[in-house]
Amino acid sequence: MIKKKIWLSSPHMGGEEQKYIQEAFDNNWVAPIGCQIGLLEKSLESFLHKNYVTALNSGTAALHLALKLANIKKNDTVLCQTHTHVASANPIVYEGATPVFIDSEPDTWNISPELLEKAIRDLNTKGIKPKALIVVHLYGMPAKMPEILEIARKYNLKVIEDAAESLGSSINGQMTGTFGDYGILSFNGNKIITTSGGGALITQTEKDKQKAIFWATQSRDKAPHYQHSEIGYNYRMSNIVAGIGRGQMEVLPLRIKQRRANFDFYKKNLKDLPLELAPLEPTGYFSNRWLTTVLTDSYETREKIRHTLEQENIETRPLWKPMHLQPIFKNAPAYINGVSEDLFNRGLCLPSGSDLNLTNKKRITNIIKKVF
């Protein structure tokens, strides 16, 4: 008999989502405009404690608009963490700019501040001045923002935080996504909260928010007819989707607790095995533990665990394949120290859904134990 599939990270509704969708239907705002959108933005703004939030139809769209707000143009250079999901880097190419990839440091698995500064200096000697940096808080673990912001100030870089995986993560109480000039969130199906598909842009000013909404709604000039003096996009979130988001915001604190409990369970129950439950939180750092990740001793062990779980109908996934190893970016410059390639070879994401029950968690850890 085929056992019921355990997914890596599935949508987990809170219960009130359909009530807010119903409100949208009742008012007939079945459109990318309506009060659910504004209410979701308010709720995100209050959760993040500050900043302005614009609800969009994906995290990728939010990254694209962040790059436009940072005034990235054709042939500009944008630095980007190499250890990430491809959506962090693709929008750089949308604007005709050149990505330069930077490797990670071992504490947080995110961009190495040391290598970042080295890369900037080396590029400067070649007459290249990068204009922006995309830093990612992978799997929920905050990147080393204090160090990164200091470097960004020194070299006049705009900072875009890809917080798609880290909603609710913080450093000394400050939420990821609110440190940089711009931040982005994703509500795709497998994220800590989901709207089926969606995202948001975090900005420091109301002016940036208004500009983002302008671009996201086809850049319509003020006129009774349709007139456009700038290229626009269809990036605004739907009012229906925003209703799902409002319901999900109500359970976000609980979802963070549940994801963190998954990590604690795995850590406790796998502690006698030659596996490293990592990365650990540096002092003052708080991770939402979107996905629980483990480091094995070798590629072979990683694959053995992955295959064994797969045979039991349990989904796992290797860590992100670094961007500098991706065929589409093979010609992009990269500053590499080996960390992301090593993580890619030895690392695995374990099932981490907030709806993962104790029976299933025990099933997973028992299978992993048997591998050894």
199 is a contact residue toward ligand PLP (CB under 6 A): yes
Instruction: Round to whole Å and give the CA distance between 24 and 350.
Output: 37
| 240 binding ligand PLP? (CB under 6 A) | no
Q: Are 208 and 26 in contact (CB under 8 A)?
A: no
**Residue with tokens 């790059």, as numbered in its chain:** 67
Considering only residues 122 through 161, tell me which ones interact with ligand PLP, judged by CB under 6 A: 136
- The correct pick among 9, 54, 77, 84 for binding ligand PLP (CB under 6 A) is 84
Distance (Å, rounded) from C-alpha 179 to C-alpha 200?
15
Residue number, 39 or 135, with CB nearest to ligand PLP: 135
- Contact call for residue 83 and ligand PLP (CB under 6 A): no
Three-state secondary-structure class, residue 342: helix
Q: How far is the CB of 160 from ligand PLP (least distance, A)?
A: 11
What are residue 370's DSSP bridge partners? none
Task: Indicate left, alpha or beta for 338 from its phi (over 0: left) and psi (-120 to 50: alpha).
Answer: left
- Span from 20-28, 82-90, 173-181, 222-230 in contact with ligand PLP (CB under 6 A): 82-90
Q: Is 164 in the site for ligand PLP (CB under 6 A)?
A: yes
Using CB under 6 A as the binding rule, whether residue 60 contacts ligand PLP is answered as: yes
Nearer to ligand PLP by Cβ, of 64 and 260: the residue is 64
SS (H, E, C) 191-230: CCCCCCCCEEEEECCHHHHHHHHHHHECCCCCCCCCCCCC
What is the rounded CA–CA span in Å between residue 223 and residue 225?
5
Find the shortest distance in angstroms from Cβ 179 to ligand PLP: 16
The pair of structure tokens assigned to 117 is: 């500064």
Q: Give dist(CA 57, CA 68) in Å, integer.
A: 17
- The least distance separating ligand PLP from the CB of residue 218, rounded to whole angstroms, comes to 19
Q: How many residues bind ligand PLP (CB under 6 A)?
A: 14
188 lines the binding site for ligand PLP (CB under 6 A):
yes
Among 6, 40, 78, 87, binds ligand PLP (CB under 6 A): 87
Does 195 engage in binding with ligand PLP (CB under 6 A)?
no
To ligand PLP, the closest distance from the beta carbon of 139 in angstroms equals 9
Shortest Å distance, C-beta 112 to ligand PLP: 17
Q: Is 332 helix (H, G, I), strand (E, B) or coil?
A: coil
Coil/strand/helix, residue 283 = coil
Would you say 324 or 361 has its CB closer to ligand PLP?
324
Single residue of 11, 32, 34, 59 touching ligand PLP by CB under 6 A? 59
Indicate the residue whose CB is closest to ligand PLP.
59
Residue ranges of alpha helices (H) inside the chain are 17-26, 35-48, 59-69, 90-94, 113-125, 145-154, 206-216, 239-269, 299-311, 339-346, 358-371
Nearer Cβ to ligand PLP, position 113 or 198?
198
In the complex, which residues of this chain contact ligand PLP (CB under 6 A)?
58-60, 84-85, 87-88, 136, 162, 164-165, 186, 188, 199
